[in-house]
Amino acid sequence: MFLREDLEARFRFENEKENGEDQPMLYVDAKLDGQNFTTLAKRYPGKKWINLVPGFRVSGSEPGGKRNQLIIEPVPVLHDDRLFVSHSGHVVLEDGTTRTIDLDVTVGMIRRWRDDPHPCQCDGCRNIFPNAIKALAAAEDYVAGRLKRGQLARKLRKLGYNEEEMPVFN
């Protein structure tokens, strides 16, 4: 089982009613706060894991997956105020001087630019946001479980991002 060093986990079985029949349900609980167990996921026999807590994904030992391996991995929660990526660049001011700036782009900034019917069309925004929108879409697919970590890393590299340098994944 792959866990963070400070994460204690356990399995438990409970019977649940499904279509009028008792079905054994496997649960994975972990001590997220170090004191109390929280149920992270549940699974019906022969089915995939149903993740119950945002920020964690349980996978493995399921149909089509790796046998005899259970993975509990943290996944980023993409709130609007979460820092997604930082950009550095140069701006030319009205008086003609050039300045170097660092721009912290949050998830919310990307979503607002994407959803705006008339987004800013300055060179800076047109250089940053189109690829950031594609990277955010890949991150949302990863969080939803439609992409694996390696697939996400490949997509981000194609867009010119390094996953290790992106604050949203650290």
pLDDT value of residue 154: 92
pLDDT value of residue 134: 93
pLDDT over 80 (residue 34): no
Contacts of 51 (CB under 8 A, 6+ apart): 40, 41, 57, 58, 145
pLDDT over 50 (residue 157): yes
pLDDT over 90 (residue 79): no
pLDDT value of residue 64: 60
Mean pLDDT along residues 26-35: 85
Question: Which has more pLDDT, 158 or 58?
Answer: 158
pTM of this structure: 0.64
The beta strand positions in the chain, using DSSP E, are 9-18, 21-31, 37-43, 50-51, 56-59, 71-74, 83-92, 98-106
- pLDDT tens for 51-73 read 888 888 887 776 566 666 777 88
